[in-house]
Amino acid sequence: LNVFVGIGHNDLRIKAVICSPILSSEQEILGVIEVSRRENNGPYTKDDLDLLLLICAWFGNVIYQKEQRVLKTHQYSTITSLIALCNKLTQIPDADMIIYDMLDLCLDKLNAKAAYYYTYVPHVEGLLTEVYEYDLVVPRLKRRKRILDNASGSVASYVAKTHEMVNIRDVAADKRFQETDAFMSDITLTTVLCKEILRKNKPVGILQINNKASNGVFLLQDEKLFNIISTFLSFLLELIEMQQTKKHNMLMNELLRTTLIHHLRPCGACLNDLTSI
């Protein structure tokens, strides 16, 4: 087979072309192989097509196996980082710090340019109130939490209503969402991965990452890592609430103990015989 590398055939007089996609085991398109013949050669036969399909199948399997090895490596490093966050949380029970660390982990492991965590208004279904923002450009300086004025038309509002995970690979082609981010007006959204965070089977927030680096898209492997991070975030938020409840109960117990001591052991003036006054 005569293979011409490049895009288009402006300077070639092509007689025959065969083309086949490269698919992963999940039927995701990883690429395309195209081969062509010039006018002075004969047409392609069925054997040529079978050979191309065999090459594409082998190529797709090689790419998939490599991605699986990379995924396992990322999963190991991600879980190691998450366990380190759990150990850190036992010493510093700060919910905001943990959320920002999780957003930083999303940028590092999933190669996203920005990450957000939206919180719900208590006792109001589907209404978002605050957003934690973490930008890739200057991460430590761009960390901030802002009050959300309006989230209509955003991916987060859609997830809040449908309670489903979305992986949008072309925001411009999906008219359900706005192409411009509410907090990054100078950046156009291209790809978005967004999921609801649950605690005790109840939604407490929404985790979202935008625009994969190098103009890529979030693949199935990215979704798996995103699910792992979301699960740990849910666990950490639950652990924070338990620690805060434990601290509150300890303070209440101390207050009740002090009150009981006061009433069970009255001062000397209270012990005087009132009849002697």
Predicted confidence (pLDDT) per residue in 235-258, tens digit: 888 877 777 788 888 888 888 888
State pLDDT tens for residues 131-167.
777 665 555 555 666 666 556 667 888 888 888 888 9
Q: Has residue 62 got a pLDDT over 80?
A: yes
Query: How many whole angstroms separate alpha carbon 272 and alpha carbon 252?
Result: 32
* Residue with more model confidence, 8 or 102: 102
Please compute the mean of the pLDDT values over residues 82-92 and round it to a whole number. 68
Instruction: Give percent of the chain with pLDDT exceeding 90.
Output: 3
Closest CA to 157 of 209, 227, 208, 220: 208
Query: How many whole angstroms separate alpha carbon 102 and alpha carbon 220?
Result: 20
Domains of the chain: 1-91 (no CATH), 95-238 (3.30.450.40)
Q: Has residue 3 got a pLDDT over 50?
A: no
Contact 208, 183 (CB under 8 A): no
* Phi and psi based region of residue 10 (left: phi greater than 0; alpha: psi -120 to 50; beta: remaining): alpha
On whether the pTM is more than 0.75, the answer is no
Contact 217, 23 (CB under 8 A): no
Rounded (5°) CA angle 169-174-179: 85
Query: How many whole angstroms separate alpha carbon 49 and alpha carbon 60?
Result: 16
State pLDDT tens for residues 193-236.
999 988 877 888 889 988 888 778 888 888 888 998 888 888 88
* Average pLDDT of every residue of the chain: 76
